[in-house]
């Protein structure tokens, strides 16, 4: 069956660099974060840019939250609708448990595997995090090695960016305490098309 849905794209600046957002229908398809330019952020999105429309208008609420996050503010992304239906059941569970890691906290790959119901699948969790298409909204930067070291990170500047994100969150928690209620700017969901 043919779909009348369109891919929507937006590139926008944050305090950590440029980000790109790809959406389709009422779901986020991909987020690229902390790139040196708008062109680099858009190039990191695994879609055909030529077919894109501007996602900035309908998804301004999410862009605002990502920009707030980049300044060190605790932001809740739990209501962001993600296009994960194509993932295996295990990967969907990993994504959902990763999304539940509190701001400023970390979980090891093994802990996340256990939470997802497969305690011996730490490497599979690592693979899921390495292919995470929803940077920041699925906070793979909060998933660390069992010894607490950051481990790999697929974004620009790799592990250095991961460490920067973790440090930023931990400083905010040390300064203000763990947030009881995290800010949600804008509408919860995009308008129906």
pLDDT over 70 (residue 116): yes
Nearest of 146, 145, 182 to residue 162 by alpha carbon: 145
Nearest of 137, 138, 142, 133 to residue 162 by alpha carbon: 142
Q: What percent of the chain has pLDDT over 90?
A: 72
Domains in the chain, start-ordered, CATH in brackets? 89-167 (1.10.10.10)
User: Measured in Å, how far apart are the chain's first and last C-alpha atoms?
Assistant: 18
Q: Lowest-pLDDT range, 26-30, 56-60, 133-137?
A: 56-60
Q: Which pair of tokens denotes residue 180?
A: 């009881």
Q: Could you tell me the CA-to-CA distances from 146 to 77, 98, 117, 169, 188 in Å, in that order?
A: 25, 15, 17, 19, 35
pLDDT digits (tens, 9 = 90+) for 139-189: 999 999 999 999 889 888 899 999 999 999 999 998 877 766 555 555 555
Would you list the DSSP string of 42-110? Answer: HHHS-S-GGG-EE-TTTTHHHHHHHHHHHTT--B--TT--B--TTS-HHHHHHHHHHHTSPTT--EEHH
Which residues on adjacent β-strands are paired with residue 12?
Answer: 19
Q: Which residue has the higher pLDDT, 67 or 57?
A: 67
pLDDT over 50 (residue 34): yes
pLDDT over 70 (residue 191): no
pLDDT over 80 (residue 56): no
**Catalytic residue positions?**
140
pLDDT over 90 (residue 16): yes
3-class SS letters over 114-183: HHCCCCCCHHHHHHHHHCCCEECCECHHHEECCCCCCCCCCCCCHHHHHHHHHHHHHHHHHHHCCCCCCE
Question: What's the pLDDT band for 57 if we cut at 50, 70, 90?
Answer: confident
């Amino acid at each position: 069956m043919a779909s009348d849905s369109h891919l929507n794209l937006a590139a926008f600046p944050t305090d950590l660099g440029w980000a790109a957002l790809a959406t389709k229908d009422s779901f986020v398809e991909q987020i690229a974060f902390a790139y040196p330019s708008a062109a680099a952020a858009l190039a990191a999105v695994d879609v055909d840019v030529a077919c894109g429309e501007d996602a900035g208008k309908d998804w301004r609420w999410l862009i605002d939250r990502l920009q707030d996050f980049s300044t060190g503010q605790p932001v809740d992304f739990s209501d962001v609708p993600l296009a994960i239906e194509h993932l295996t059941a295990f990967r969907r569970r990993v994504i959902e448990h990763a999304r539940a890691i509190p701001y400023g906290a970390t979980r090891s790959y093994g802990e996340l595997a256990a939470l997802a119901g497969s305690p011996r699948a730490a490497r599979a969790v690592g693979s899921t995090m390495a292919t995470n298409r929803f940077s920041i909204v699925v906070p793979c930067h909060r998933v660390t090695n069992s010894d607490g070291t950051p481990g790999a990170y697929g974004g620009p500047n790799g592990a250095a960016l991961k460490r920067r994100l973790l440090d930023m969150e931990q400083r905010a928690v040390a300064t203000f305490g763990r947030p009881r209620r995290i800010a949600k700017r804008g509408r919860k969901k995009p308008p129906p098309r």
